[in-house]
């Protein structure tokens, strides 16, 4: 194996390890809620701030529109989301969460956003330093 990536101690290598460690928990959360990863992602995006047209969901998920049709079909069949006609453009269908969908989404966000125990072991000063650094990392992309 080539050693072209950064060595162990570099910050990025550590972040990647943290990503993978965290990524491993998402499938268990998903199966706990009887959702696929794609459904988790979609449910997370629907019903945040503003109504979600299907086209915008496809764009945000970076997938084809035809894919969203089937994805929403299944979420709708389970009573989690509903299609509503747009009042402005009759071609557009906006997605809304049903009460059941809002509950599942809340449970999902709850578990997804639950900080790992290791984070609580950081001192307040370390937590502030981490927040400051992460904000700088998120400034651009």
| Interacting residues with a second copy (CB under 8 A) | 1-2, 4-6, 9-19, 21-24, 27, 47-48, 62, 102, 105-106, 109-110, 112-119, 121-122, 126-127, 129-141
Locus of tokens 């969908």: 101
DSSP state of 116: P
- What proportions of the chain, in percent to the nearest 5, are helix, strand and coil? 60, 10, 35
CA 136 to chain centre: 21
The number of residues in the chain equals 141
Are 75 and 14 a contacting pair, CB within 8 Å? no
Find the shortest distance in angstroms from Cβ 89 to a second copy. 25
Q: From the list a second copy, DNA, none, which binds 11 (C-beta under 5 to 8 Å, kind-based)?
A: a second copy
| Choices 17-25, 91-99, 106-114, 132-140 (CB under 7 A): range interacting with DNA | 91-99
Interacting residues toward DNA by CB under 7 A:
36, 38-39, 53-56, 58, 61-74, 83, 86, 89-94
């Amino acid at each position: 194996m080539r050693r072209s990536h950064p060595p162990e101690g570099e910050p990025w290598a550590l972040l990647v390890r943290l990503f993978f460690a965290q990524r491993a928990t998402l499938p268990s959360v998903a199966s706990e809620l009887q959702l696929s990863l794609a459904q988790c992602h979609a449910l997370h995006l629907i019903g945040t701030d503003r109504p979600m047209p299907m086209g915008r969901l496809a764009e945000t998920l970076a997938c084809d529109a035809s894919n969203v049709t089937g994805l929403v079909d299944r979420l709708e069949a389970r009573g989690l989301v509903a299609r509503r006609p747009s009042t402005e453009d009759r071609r557009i269908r906006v997605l809304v969460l049903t009460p059941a969908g809002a509950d599942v989404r809340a449970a999902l966000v709850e578990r997804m956003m639950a900080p790992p125990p290791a984070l609580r072991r950081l001192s307040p000063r370390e937590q502030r330093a981490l927040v400051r650094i992460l904000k700088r990392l998120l400034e651009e992309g």
